[in-house]
Structure 1
Amino acid sequence: MNQQKTPGEIYKQQVSYYSDLLRKLKSKRSNIGWLRLVIVLAILLLIYSLFFKSSLITWILVAAGIALFLYVISIDADNNEKIADAQRLLFINREELEILSGNYQNREDGISFLPHEHPYAGDIDLFGTASLYQYISRCTSQQSKQLLATALLQASEENVIIDRQAAAKSLAPQWAWRQNLQSTGMANPLTFATEQKIKVWLSMPKPLKQALWKILPVVFTAITLATVAAYLFGWINSSVFWLLVFAYFLFAKYTSAKVIQTYTALTKIEGELDTLYKQLLLVEKLPCSSPLLDSYKEILVSKKGGTEGIRDLKEILKRFDFRLNLLVFFVLNTFFLWDVRQTLSLNKWKDKYALVVPEWFKILQNIELVNTLATLTFNHPTWNFPTNSSEHFTLIGENIGHPLIDEKKRVDNSFSTSGTGKVAIITGSNMAGKSTFLRSIAVNLVLAQLGAPVCASTFEFSPVKLYSSMRIADNLAENTSTFYAELKKLKSIIDQVKQHEKVFILLDEILRGTNSLDRHTGSEALIRQLIREQAVAIIATHDVELANLYKTQQGAASNYHFDVQVEGEELYFDYKLKSGICQSMNASLLMKKIGIEM
């Protein structure tokens, strides 16, 4: 039985494949370049011979040469497109290898999505350098990037989580399809500006909607072509002909003025429309199935509004852009009312597809989000999808690790708590792993409520609002001290607790900005209040005295710790969570190491 290849082996294989393909395509491009030169020289030689002797065969050869040249140009354009796609796919596979190696800090970090104030985003590195967003995102469009950021900042509904999980599981093995989707999106990433342009155009009143305009181009073209025929047969002289052509030009210019607003509304979106078309075409041909993925295919294939609509819009806009070539546009508009014809085509298109346009953008942003989750699933076969519990509060995890720590260096821990009015107090020495453990819980909970796999053997949770206070900074602009900033954060948590919202609270070294007596008194009062209000929290602290609360809050307060082993002047950490109160601290030894005489 053949052993299944690892993600890293597949990516290395693809890097080799696309490197070889690029060499072949670039060699072909070079050969095509030489062929074009030979054809041009042959055409020029034939034209030169016509000055000495004109013959039908020579003219035929010139025409054939020009046709051949145009055909070779089309081949070259197709080859260049294949080169660009191969370069993108080579980049994708090389980047995946770098990400698997832990080198992802140069990717887009989503820092623009980080709110000034948020219940947990600033504490657990959701955005910025070495962040969760930077690690997992495979989104290319602005719409999907925004959706991913929103899903990280706010828990999704339970049905959405379940649908995304099923879609990610189904799509994960389809790495070739997923990379094609990403590569297509990278070519001309879809932006909010283009989406807004289309929506504004759809909301605009239709020009030329009177019945007269539908027959005018036919009648006008009949008249102009009749005029050309009359001139060619000698029925009118050149003066009359050019006078009529000028009159037709003025009338065509008058009609163009009526539709210029439509053209301006849709200008310069063809590249992104091509991306939208190609990506949704891939969705139509999805090689896997899930309720969510099937619903997307249903909209595109079975209902009115498939990719043929985007293709038709692309073709209309391409024809509309003939006006950019002044000579071609002069002929087309003067004799055929070209602008009017394209505007009427756009009116028909709007009648047919206006209602489904929002669905296209919705499908695209969601499929790129699912692609992100599927890639995460594929890259981490040892991660698992969490299960939802309907009983508040539930958090049961086996071998929970921080997703952004290298697997070889990561130390996993198990933890569970159920019911309300529960506070887990974690004591421990400096650098023993308390803060990392809190962030491991938080980040995995965020992933779980996104619909992603989590870095754990098993993970059961009940949907909840996450609140944390771990990383507090002062704000000079607002003249806010660190202590006051923390008080503001704690107030927002207490407000939620008093309203008996379903919240899960993670606190690290609370009230660190005040004296030790007030800190202990305030921390103890806060823990008692959380228990009284039936809240659920994990609190990491150096204040060992707080751990004694279990004596008066039996069944509500529980103790865990991270410890350190000291041998001489050396410290050894195992980063394992243990039950009970920490009995070993290392601050004195660390202070001695930096030169403080104890």
Structure 2
Amino acid sequence: MGAKEKYERRRTRYFRLYEKYNKAINTISNLRLLVFIAGLALTIFLMVIKYYIIMVAIFIVFLFAFVYLMISHDKLFKARLYSSMFVKINEDAIKRLNGEWDSFIDNGKDFLDQNHQYAYDLDIFGERSLFQWISVANTYLGREALRGLLSGNRKDVVRIKMRQEAIKELAGKLAWRQRFSAEGLVVSENMKEPEKLISWANEQNEFYKSSWLAIVVKILPLSTILSLTLAFVTSKVPYYVPSFLVLIQYFLLKYKNRERHEVFKTSDKFSKDIAVYNKMLKHFEKKDFEAELIKEIRNKMTGKTGKPAYEQVNRLSKIIDSISNRHAPFYLIFNILTLWDYRNMIILEKWKEDSGRYLKEWLEGLGMIEALSSLAIIRHDNPAWVMPEIKEKQRNEFEASRMGHPLIVTNRVCNNLDFNSPTKVLLITGSNMSGKSTLLRTAGINLVLAYAGAPVCAEVFRASIMDIHSCMRVSDDLGKSISSFYAELLRIKAILREAKEGKKVFFLLDEIFKGTNSRDRHTGARVLIDELSKTNSIGMVSTHDFELCDLEQSSPKIKNYHFEEYYKDNKIYFDYRLRKGVSTTRNAIYLMRMAGIDIDESLI
């Protein structure tokens, strides 16, 4: 069964469940109203005719029925919510396969950085980006983990292979991944930036960790309640004794009350987030995995405390539930009698001491699973794509067969690339719109996926570890008074510096030195290409300047490739096929005429 058929079946199934739960909720809502009215009417009627025993029995029966219906309504409401989430998840998956994913809200535009060495040029973040295509990370740290993988922060052969193994396993667990994603879909704004929660979990208050305070909080309320009971039941305990004890407890509650109030207010704010994290952790830790990386993440969650992370977060959730009872009626009286605020603070501080320092690590682990689950979508949806061979080699290597751009769904054209020795620079020529820039982006974005541990859009893909650098979309920086030409120079300077320092660079240069006259452009480009060919780096340079193509004659490290166009019925067509050699065609005049610019034949 293909990926699309799976998604369509799951969408249909959950939509039917959604409708079923919706009908059940409406039925129970009507039943609840009926039970309430009938119970109230019968109770009043029996009270009027003075059938008190039957009245009490009827009241209890209807009360239980009403409570049962309320609980059932709540369960059905949650089930309906999950069904609607699964419908959305599968609809998004179908859109992704159909190439309609540009409507996804999270496109990672907050990660856009024009100064990044390749992300801006290769459409890693922003509108119609790689991030927008695959991201199912809902938490802040999940999005950060995915950003890190796509930004080239973790280029290590061993870790890449571990991520490949994890992605393969997650790809085969569609139902598990979708449930994990559904648990994260209810994130609040706080979860999008959990630093405050993590900071709060690490705050320590020594006063509430005092052993003497714990003893007082246990013994004093017991003494107060016992003396009150004895004072009411017998005359052996004078009333001033419990009154005095209550007064002591009242003033105890006044002590540091504002401080406790701030802590409790913060805990209320994070209650929903903690409940969601708890569900995500439980769903993750309850599942058995074989991949070493996923086992490593889970072991980090349990190794330092000896207990599953979800159990510890669940304990925190229960503490916060207890704290939230402060908003209940008559809590003030209950609090004065039991010192419940002190009890909550003591157990909260105990939790922070035992587990608070590990919360960040647990949430980062969840974030990495979200990132890997995002990349696993590529494996699941594109089973024909290959897992790349990544090696640490002395000489840079890049070989790809039938490589296409992963973000182009319809009319994708695949090409072969091979930097076989001694080739260092591929010089790409071709007319406007022939596919030069797309080829550079295709190589770059597939290499980004390869280093992240994901499959790539190719039949064969081998590469060594390199630093990707591009110079493609360079614009003016008015804030720094930097022209696009100077910005391009700065980018190229950085690439050349790293290459000359012996670093392994994979460079992608598109139409370099556009902002100057043709003579200087030719001279500068010729010198730059020659310099790069003498380093340990490899890469591609696209150009319209055919004069540069004779560099192949002077150096075996430089190879010419080109794209062509053809004309039919007075229309221009491109096949986007990469060919060896130099381009012999040009189309700028034709395109100018198409744009309405009338050019005299005698000038051509």
Q: TM-score, normalised by structure 2?
A: 0.93
Q: What residue number does 2:24 align with?
A: 28
Q: Give the equivalent residue in structure 1 for 2:464.
A: 462
2:3 maps to which of 3, 7, 12: 7
Q: List aligned pairs for 1:65-214, cutoff 5 A.
A: 65-107=62-104, 108-156=106-154, 157-188=156-187, 191=191, 193-214=193-214
Structure 1 residue 490: Cα displacement = 1.4
Counterpart AA for 2:407: L
**SS of residue in 1 equivalent to 2:480:** coil
Q: Is the 8 A contact 2:161 2:453 kept in 1?
A: yes
Structure 1 contact 198–266 (Cα < 8 Å) conserved: no
Read off the aligned partner of 1:319 and give its amino acid letter.
S
Report if aligned partners of 1:322, 1:328 keep a CA contact under 8 Å in 2.
no
Partner of 2:12: 16
Cα distance in 1 for partners of 2:419, 2:265 equals: 60
Distance 1:483 1:195, change over 3 A: closer
The offset of 1:472, in angstroms, is 1.8
Equivalent residues in 2 for 1:200-239 (5 A)?
200-233=200-233, 235=235
Query: Cα gap change, 1:385/1:320 in structure 2, threshold over 3 Å: closer, same or farther?
Result: same
RMSD over equivalenced CA pairs, Å: 2.2
Deviations 1:444-474 (A, max 9, x none): 0111111111111111011111111111222
List per-residue Cα deviations over 1:384-409 (Å, max 9, x = no partner). 11011222300000011001101x40
Which amino acid in the other structure matches residue 191 of structure 2? T
Supply the AA of the counterpart residue of 1:169.
K
Does residue 317 (structure 1) correspond to residue 320 (structure 2)? The answer is yes
Which residue pairs with 2:525 in the alignment?
523
1:114/1:210 CA distance change after superposition, 3 Å: same
Would the aligned equivalents of 1:393 and 1:419 in 2 still touch at CA under 8 Å? no
Partner of 1:56: 53
Question: What is the percent sequence identity of the aligned residues?
Answer: 30
Separation of aligned partners in 1, 2:302 and 2:535: 52
SS of equivalent residue, structure 1 residue 187? coil
> Conserved in 2, the CA contact under 8 Å of 1:401 and 1:410?
yes
Residue 348 of structure 1: CA displacement?
A: 2.6
Amino acid at match of 1:342: N
Structure-2 residue corresponding to 1:295: 296
For the residues of structure 2 that align with 1:350 and 1:439, how far apart are their CA atoms?
48
Give, in whole Å, the separation in 2 of the partners of 1:237 and 1:73. Answer: 46
Distance 1:515 1:338 in 2: 79
Equivalents in 2 of 1:596, 1:137: separation in Å? 48
User: Displacement, 1:125?
Assistant: 1.1
Matched length: 591
1:405-416 equivalence runs, <5 A:
405-406=408-409, 408-416=410-418
State how far apart, in whole Å, the 1-side matches of 2:301 and 2:58 are.
47
Q: How far off is 1:18 after superposition? A: 0.8
Quick check: 1:37 aligned with 2:33?
yes
CA distance in 1, matches of 2:415, 2:100: 25
| SS of equivalent to 1:130 | coil
CA shift at 1:162, angstroms?
1.0
How far off is 1:261 after superposition? 4.4
* Range with greater deviation from structure 2 (363-372 or 116-125): 116-125
**How far apart in 1 are the matches of 2:29 and 2:239?**
44
**Secondary structure, counterpart of 1:545 in structure 2:** helix
Name which of structure 1's ranges 232-241 and 446-455 shifts more when overlaid on structure 2: 232-241
Which whole-Å CA distance do the structure 2 matches of 1:193 and 1:51 have between them? 60
Query: In 2, Cα distance between the equivalents of 1:214 and 1:124?
Result: 59
User: Contact 1:279 / 1:364 at 8 angstroms: preserved in 2?
Assistant: yes
3-state secondary structure, aligned to 2:198? helix
Q: Are the equivalent residues in 2 in contact too, given 1:283–1:296 (CA < 8 A)?
A: no
For residues 301 and 248 of structure 1, do their structure 2 counterparts lie closer, same or farther at Cα, with a shift above 3 Å needed? Answer: closer
Paired with 2:252 and 2:379, the residues of 1 have a C-alpha distance of 62
- Call closer, same or farther: CA 1:293–1:535 in 2, change over 3 Å: closer
Q: Which residue matches 1:556?
A: 557
What's the secondary structure of 1:576's corresponding residue? coil
For the residue of structure 2 that corresponds to 1:207, the secondary structure is helix
CA distance in 2, matches of 1:444, 1:134: 16
Larger mean CA deviation between 49-58 and 513-522 belongs to 49-58
SS in 1 for 2:209: coil
Change in Cα spacing, 1:340 to 1:472, as seen in structure 2 (3 Å) is same
**Runs (5+) with no aligned partner, structure 1:** none
The alpha-carbon deviation at position 54 of structure 1 amounts to: 5.4
Structure 1 residue 295, shift from structure 2 partner: 2.2
C-alpha change, 1:219 and 1:187, in structure 2 (3 Å) is same
The letter for the 1-side match of 2:22 is: K
Q: Give the Å deviation of 1:110.
A: 0.6
Determine the structure 2 residue equivalent to 1:279: 280
CA contact (8 A) 2:217 2:342 kept: yes
- Per-residue deviation, 1:294: 2.0
The normalised TM-score by structure 1 is 0.93
CA shift for structure 1 position 355? 4.3
Residue 587 of structure 2 corresponds to 586
CA distance in 2, matches of 1:193, 1:136: 21
Equivalent pair of 2:388/2:461 in contact (CA under 8 Å): yes
Does residue 597 in structure 1 map to residue 603 in structure 2? Answer: no
Whole-Å separation in 1 of the counterparts to 2:293 and 2:487: 42
Instruction: Name 1:333's counterpart in structure 2.
Output: 335
- Looking at structure 2, the residues matched to 339 and 163 of structure 1 have their Cα atoms a distance apart, in angstroms, of 47
Deviation, structure 1 residue 149: 1.3
Q: Aligned partners of 1:529, 1:586: CA distance in 2, in Å?
A: 31
Opposite residue 208 of structure 1, the aligned amino acid is Y
Structure 1 range deviating more: 90-99 or 286-295: 286-295
User: Alpha carbons of 1:51 and 1:214: their partners in 2 closer, same or farther (altered >3 Å)?
Assistant: farther
Alpha-carbon separation, structure 2, partners of 1:105 and 1:217: 58
How has the CA–CA distance of structure 1 residues 123 and 495 changed in structure 2, closer, same or farther, with 3 Å as cutoff? same
CA offsets per residue over residues 274-318 of structure 1, 9 Å max, x none?
Answer: 111111111112254211122233345676131111111100110
State the secondary structure of the residue aligned to 1:191.
Answer: helix
Gaps of 5+ in 2: none
The 8 Å contact of residues 469 and 507 in structure 1, kept in 2 or not, is answered as: yes
Equivalent in the alignment of 2:406: 403
